[in-house]
Structure 1
Amino acid sequence: MTEDVPGSGKRSLRPLSGVLAAMAVSLTGTRVSAVALPWFVLVTTGSATQTGLVAFCEMTPYVAVKAFTGPLVDRIGPRAVSWTTDLASATAAAAVPLFHALHLLSFPLLLALVALIGAVRGPGDLAKEVMVPEAAERGGVPLERATGLSGVTERLASTIGPAAGGSLVALLGPLTGLVVNAGCFALGSVIIALALPRGLGHAVEEAPSQAGETEPGYWRRFGEGFTFLRGELLLLTVIVMVGVTNLLDAGFTTVLMPVWAKESGNGPTAIGLMGSVLGAAAVAGSLVASLAAHRLRRRLVFFTGFLLAGAPRFLILASHAPMGAVLAVFAVSGFGSGFLNPVLGAVLFERVPRRILGRVSALGDSLAWAGIPLGGLAAGAAVASVGLAPVLLAGGTAYFLTTNLTGLRPEWREMDRASGRDAHDRQPEEAVQPSSANLTT
């Protein structure tokens, strides 16, 4: 591994490794908290309603604040945003067990701390995503491979984190899981602040202004993101499609799977088993994608991945199939989902100018995630009205139609134009500047 010196022309994997390491520890901490925090609320309040309210109070500011912080990431630089927000997340997460130990933790204060964690975690996640293409460029890594490795990192965190969180909660109690979450955020902050090479993740210079023009303000920068997206039909189509699938996935995970586990008699163990199989298969799919996706036709890989990852999960639960068949379908679905982010991320990297990548990525992420806080509420109301099986069938049908009918639109042809060897072999001055977005769940 060579030392990465700005302007030297040398390639090094150190920048990409550092960004991925910071993503790994912060995402793992978040997944541990996703087990520990709800359990802590349940055992201290005994209220499922309050438990759901805590989850809502974290995700709503996550989505809302992330939408408005893109210009700040561009102005300040993703590196500074990442380590400062991770430090703030660590402080807020550590305050929960501390105030509880001091008998000062009221439920309103808990909601405020959780909302603060969500509000600062959004910009922190965005900042790490923004640094991926720059780190990949420094290491000479193809965009599909870099985003594939980013996907592997996320999938591993989603597989290891819940297992570690469940073990910690069972053995040492939920407060220990919250302390571990705080430690993970602190470690991520240190990695970004100290371990990355000089020059990575700094603010991007704005285009030279005309004579007499003042430097653009926040709202002008923010508006540039909307202006850019309005002219990018492919990106808008992707955002709308993924927004619908994210809403369906949120309802499936938070309501439909638990209700199915209860009604089928398989119990909560089945939920953990299905999640583990899905996550492990997704890791395998992401690894394969990181090695081979840049050589394949993007549209074919993308829509095949969604065909496997979406509707089959809903339909297998509605069919009253045995547990073995359910796990097999979840394994296939997880493998297909592993191909989505590498392809999607590479397309987005190539279409957005570097100087506005933070604001465009923030808007894209937030719009695609806007339905997640509502997914569980909608699924719960639907199940209460018509029952589980009809909702599963409707959800699977909606997933299939969303991902396949959308693919008939003509703008999807642009997905393949910059893919494969031709795009990889372009000279640097001809290449479109990269951006980043993490639109899938």
Structure 2
Amino acid sequence: METPVKAPLLALLTGTTVSLAGTAMTALSIPWFVLHTTGSPAQTGLVAAAGVAGLTVSSALSGPIVDRIQPRLVSIGSDLVAAVLVGLIPTLALAGALPLWALVLVVALQGLTRAPGATAEDALLPSAARVAGVPIARASSWQEGAARTGRFLGGALVGVLIALLGPAQVLYVDSASYLVSVLMTAVFVRVHLERDEPKPWSVAGHLTELREGLSYLRGDGLLAAVVSMVMITNMLDGAYTSVLLPTFGDRVLHSSVLLGVLVGTSTAAALAGVIAYGAIGGRLPKWGTYAVAFLLAGAPRLVVMAAAPPLAVLVTTIAVTSFAFGAINPILLSQLFARVPETMRGRVFGVVSAGALAGMPVGALLGGAVVELFGLTSALLLSAALYLTVTMCPFVFRVWRRLDEPVPV
């Protein structure tokens, strides 16, 4: 039976939602597990840094692979390996055979699987959208909405599941989510990309293709500015997600359930922001929207958290700042899809992902060290000051005005 034309796009979005729900659980359950096992924010940062380091390395290497192999096969293979590795963590923990070095190793290996799958999904989206007859700007907004929905479901459930099952056992749920994503991609996502004739693989050739992606990126001043800014903000977000937020839940909220409330509120508000931008974003100036949204999304939540206000104030602040964040990625994704030729997307997207992620291991390590040495409040305020400095850049440098240039839809 012929696959309906919209099935590949719907399956791609569904698989993104399911797998990211599990990934959101992992993002909190592993730090919570390390904190409660070792009591050390520094060791928590080390484990998180290992995972993001693996993700960063694979981002640099995955682009030429996706350009050489059909992205559908890359996505399936990455999710299968990830399912095995994530399921291995609770299995070893239950057997009493998971020392810190082993956890660092498994998390790093699991990080290596994430970028090929994510790059493949990004490369598949324009073709799936074209088959479905959906403009790429709308499809990219839907993809961001699917990702936010997955993170919301994972964030809303993880606190309760940690309380009921324990932080290690929650990872079995994550492992199952990767298998669901494999099934959706294997059965329904049957699209192929236009590509140049592949060359025989070699280390030199692989590095050449990476240089081609980097050269294309450097030739577009706006895309280079995007990667530079996001690399720094992701470094700060790496510290926030991996160390500051779990430590805040442990030392200030004293509850994995309340921590889940914060994460669920953040992802729900960000999803609302994505939906709102999808509805009216076409009528808004992209530069002004991006600049104001990033300014609101960064520093304010960190300052409020440092003050340890009542829960209602905290939840409201997280909701407002996360709603603002919902407009950022759809703007950036639509720029990438419009500015990068289809035959170059694997190479360029891989370099973009690696650049955006390069600061996150550093952020996780530094975040853990700063909390260990100076305390949580000092770490939150320092992060807020750095975030404010970076998010002023779109107001200062004119290259960001190019966001308002007309792009194909």
- Structure 2 length-normalised TM: 0.88
Q: Which runs of 5+ in 2 are unaligned?
A: none
Q: Are 1:368 and 2:361 an aligned pair?
A: no
Q: 1:122 to 1:409 in 2, by over 3 A?
A: same
Q: Does the 8 A contact of 1:249 with 1:375 survive in 2?
A: yes
Residue in structure 2 matched with residue 165 of structure 1 by the alignment: 158
Residue in structure 2 matched with residue 402 of structure 1 by the alignment: 390
Find 2:58's aligned residue among 65, 68, 89: 65
Find 2:277's aligned residue among 289, 298, 302: 289
CA RMSD across the alignment:
2.9
Moved more, 219-228 or 236-245: 219-228
Deviation at 1:152, TM superposition (A): 1.6
Residue in structure 2 matched with residue 7 of structure 1 by the alignment: none
Q: 1:142 to 1:404 in 2, by over 3 A?
A: farther
Q: 1:94 to 1:256 in 2, by over 3 A?
A: closer
Map of 1:226-245 to 2, 5 A cutoff? 226-245=214-233
Q: Does the 8 A contact of 1:90 with 1:183 survive in 2?
A: yes
Find 2:79's aligned residue among 71, 78, 86: 86
| Cα distance in 2 for residues equivalent to 1:271 and 1:164 | 10
Secondary structure class of the residue paired with 1:251 = helix
Q: 1:274 to 1:124 in 2, by over 3 A?
A: same
Q: Does the 8 A contact of 1:28 with 1:184 survive in 2?
A: yes
| Cα distance in 2 for residues equivalent to 1:150 and 1:90 | 22
Find 2:195's aligned residue among 205, 225, 229: 205
Residue in structure 2 matched with residue 267 of structure 1 by the alignment: 254
Q: 1:30 to 1:345 in 2, by over 3 A?
A: same
Structure ranking higher in helix proportion: 2
Residue in structure 2 matched with residue 308 of structure 1 by the alignment: 296
Q: Does the 8 A contact of 1:145 with 1:293 survive in 2?
A: no
| Cα distance in 2 for residues equivalent to 1:102 and 1:391 | 36
Q: 1:320 to 1:42 in 2, by over 3 A?
A: closer
Residue in structure 1 matched with residue 10 of structure 2 by the alignment: 17
Residue in structure 2 matched with residue 430 of structure 1 by the alignment: none
| Cα distance in 2 for residues equivalent to 1:105 and 1:391 | 29
Secondary structure class of the residue paired with 2:279 = helix
Deviation at 1:398, TM superposition (A): 2.6
Q: Does the 8 A contact of 2:18 with 2:181 survive in 1?
A: yes
Give the aligned residue type for 1:331: A
Residue in structure 2 matched with residue 432 of structure 1 by the alignment: none
Considering only CA atoms, is the larger Rg found in Structure 1 or Structure 2? 1
Q: Are 1:75 and 2:68 an aligned pair?
A: yes
Q: 1:57 to 1:320 in 2, by over 3 A?
A: closer
Give the aligned residue type for 1:83: I
Q: 1:389 to 1:369 in 2, by over 3 A?
A: same
Deviation at 1:21, TM superposition (A): 1.1
Deviation at 1:97, TM superposition (A): 3.8
Deviation at 1:384, TM superposition (A): 5.5
Q: How many residues align?
A: 404
Q: 1:190 to 1:262 in 2, by over 3 A?
A: closer
Q: 1:184 to 1:281 in 2, by over 3 A?
A: same
Q: Are 1:339 and 2:327 an aligned pair?
A: yes
Deviation at 1:345, TM superposition (A): 0.5
| Cα distance in 1 for residues equivalent to 2:248 and 2:103 | 31
Deviation at 1:208, TM superposition (A): 10
Find 1:190's aligned residue among 149, 169, 183: 183
Secondary structure class of the residue paired with 1:126 = helix
Find 2:318's aligned residue among 306, 330, 337: 330
Give the aligned residue type for 1:411: V
Can you list the C-alpha shifts for 1:397-427, whole angstroms capped at 9, x where unaligned? 33223122344322223211125xxx43xxx
| Cα distance in 1 for residues equivalent to 2:348 and 2:198 | 20
Deviation at 1:171, TM superposition (A): 2.2
Deviation at 1:334, TM superposition (A): 1.0
Deviation at 1:221, TM superposition (A): 1.6
Q: Which runs of 5+ in 1 are unaligned?
A: 5-11, 425-441
| Cα distance in 2 for residues equivalent to 1:392 and 1:205 | 46
Give the aligned residue type for 1:272: G
Residue in structure 2 matched with residue 134 of structure 1 by the alignment: 127
Residue in structure 1 matched with residue 146 of structure 2 by the alignment: 153
Give the aligned residue type for 2:208: R
Moved more, 181-190 or 46-55: 46-55
Moved more, 147-156 or 268-277: 268-277
| Cα distance in 1 for residues equivalent to 2:375 and 2:127 | 48
| Cα distance in 2 for residues equivalent to 1:188 and 1:23 | 7
- Structure 1 length-normalised TM: 0.82
Q: Does the 8 A contact of 1:144 with 1:289 survive in 2?
A: no
| Cα distance in 2 for residues equivalent to 1:389 and 1:48 | 14
Q: Does the 8 A contact of 1:87 with 1:186 survive in 2?
A: yes
| Cα distance in 2 for residues equivalent to 1:110 and 1:44 | 12
| Cα distance in 2 for residues equivalent to 1:274 and 1:128 | 28
| Cα distance in 1 for residues equivalent to 2:124 and 2:289 | 25
Deviation at 1:185, TM superposition (A): 0.9
Q: 1:248 to 1:55 in 2, by over 3 A?
A: closer
Can you list the C-alpha shifts for 1:234-263, whole angstroms capped at 9, x where unaligned? 001011111111112222334444555677
Deviation at 1:38, TM superposition (A): 4.0
